[in-house]
Copies of this chain bind each other. A is one copy, B any other.
Amino acid sequence: MEYIFSDKVSGLKPSMIREILKHGSNPDVIPLSAGNPAVESFPVSEMAQIAAEIFEKDYSKALQYGITEGHTPLREITAERLKSKFNIGKDFDSTIIVSGGQQGIDLTCKVLCNEGDTVICENPSFIGSLNAFRSYNVKLCGVELESDGINLEKLEEALKTNKNIKFIYTIPTFHNPSGITTSLEKRKGIYELARKYNVFILEDNPYGELRYTGEDIPTIKSMDEDGRVIYCGSYSKILSSGIRLGFVCAPSEIVSKIVVCKQANDVHTNQFFQMIAAEFLTRYSLDEHVEKIRSIYRRKLGLMLDGAEKHFPKEVSFTRPEGGLFVWCTAPEGTDIMKLASLCIERKLAIVPGVAFLTDPDIPCNSFRINFSTPSDEQIVRGMEILGNTLKDILA
């Protein structure tokens, strides 16, 4: 039989990152390519204890169908923390638990966009989100990302010249792949432009808790006076990634539509781990747990930046993120980054070519992404040396 797919998915291919991640799962390869949290960041013994208690006393709820909006205690704790920690959540907002931040992004696009509509995003941006938008046949308009966030003049130009723009997608805090944090001034600017051109903002903040230096900057959602910001968050980087727990805080009318789509999509998120998370957040201080994670990553980021200082050729620049999981490196224009990545693989090291994160993969890109949360300290030290040497060979 001949397979003809829907227009929205016929052009979709497995992402390049995914193919590279396959190398990363080879234990002989140093994985600077991944985005996996460090295993030591998971509160294993606490979760094990809570799980045993649920199997003992509360299994009839934990193994049974739950409600689409999410386990009520987890929703409430999540909403409270968003309010107290990030000043997020007005009377017009509500919160839903989703199966990882990814589902929040997917369903936001589904409820807001028709095929052919435009989403504006930073260029580069998170490939998982770009592919979610592509899977609804949405047109992507990438706007240049500068060291303090999106270029506001170019953002306004994009808002003026594109048709049927539904939202601006942004990762303002410890951006993936670049590590860049958008300044307060630019956050205000993005919000004002969204207002002026009457579009929504989808603020994706999976790394917001992972700050290692500097001061927190208010989220865009905290500035939302007229209900135009949809905020996506995640427990992947602060509890566990494999359990698929995220959340969306958005105006109730939007959340209601997301609920209807989620019901048709997966009915609800794994109930057992929603209950584990709710209980963990009730019994323990998430702030203290996050502080432990920060100290792990602060050290790893330091090792990575030291390695870059020591081994990178001078003409290769790199970001110095204040948090998150990624460093973005830029070689001189014209450098063949695909060749660099292949040579690295030969030397048992995986990195991600920057082109994977572009809205238009046909544009040349002389950057690449490296990650410090997945590799061990030793792997970072050794990996940065290999990377530096390989860069020198490529640039020679």
Contact = CB atoms under 8 A, between A and B. Distances in A.
A211 interface: no
B5 A242 contact: no
A376 interface: no
A65 B241 contact: yes
A62 B128 CA distance: 21
Interface string A102-125: 110010001111110100000000
A100 B9 contact: no
Contact of A9 (B261, B269, B273): B261
A198 B4 CA distance: 11
Contact of A115 (B112, B115, B244, B271): B115
A272 B236 CA distance: 13
Interface string A26-70: 000000000111010010110110011001100111111110100
B264 A102 contact: yes
Interface residues of A, number: 80
A303 interface: no
Complex copy number for this chain = 2
Contact of A3 (B45, B61, B253, B269): B253
Kindly name the residue among A7, A48, A65, A68 whose own CB sees the greatest number of chain B CB atoms within 10 A: A65
A1 B12 CA distance: 33
B44 A59 contact: yes
A5 B200 CA distance: 12
Contacts of A103: 265-266
A62 to B, nearest CB: 6
Nearest to A244: B270
Nearest to A241: B65
A228 interface: yes
A1 B111 contact: no
A301 to B, nearest CB: 20
B5 A112 contact: yes
Contacts of A117: 6
B244 A6 contact: no
A382 interface: no
Nearest to A105: B264
A102 B13 CA distance: 23
A107 to B, nearest CB: 9
A55 B63 contact: no
A86 to B, nearest CB: 21
A113 B6 contact: yes
A20 to B, nearest CB: 14
Contacts of A260: 9, 12-15, 131, 135
B65 A111 contact: no
A6 B68 CA distance: 21
Contact of A63 (B240, B257, B261): B240
B254 A111 contact: no
Contacts of A48: 52, 55-56, 59
Contacts of A227: 1
Contacts of A15: 260, 263
A327 interface: no
A259 interface: yes
Nearest to A245: B270
Given A5-B257, A63-B241, A243-B272, 4 more contacts: A100-B266, A102-B267, A132-B265, A273-B273
8 contacts: A6-B113, A7-B114, A39-B64, A47-B63, A64-B241, A99-B99, A99-B266, A243-B270
Interface of A: 1, 3, 5-9, 12-15, 18, 35-37, 39, 42, 44-45, 47-48, 51-52, 55-56, 59-66, 68, 99-100, 102-103, 106, 110-115, 117, 128, 131-132, 134-135, 198, 226-228, 236, 240-244, 251, 253-254, 256-257, 259-261, 263-273
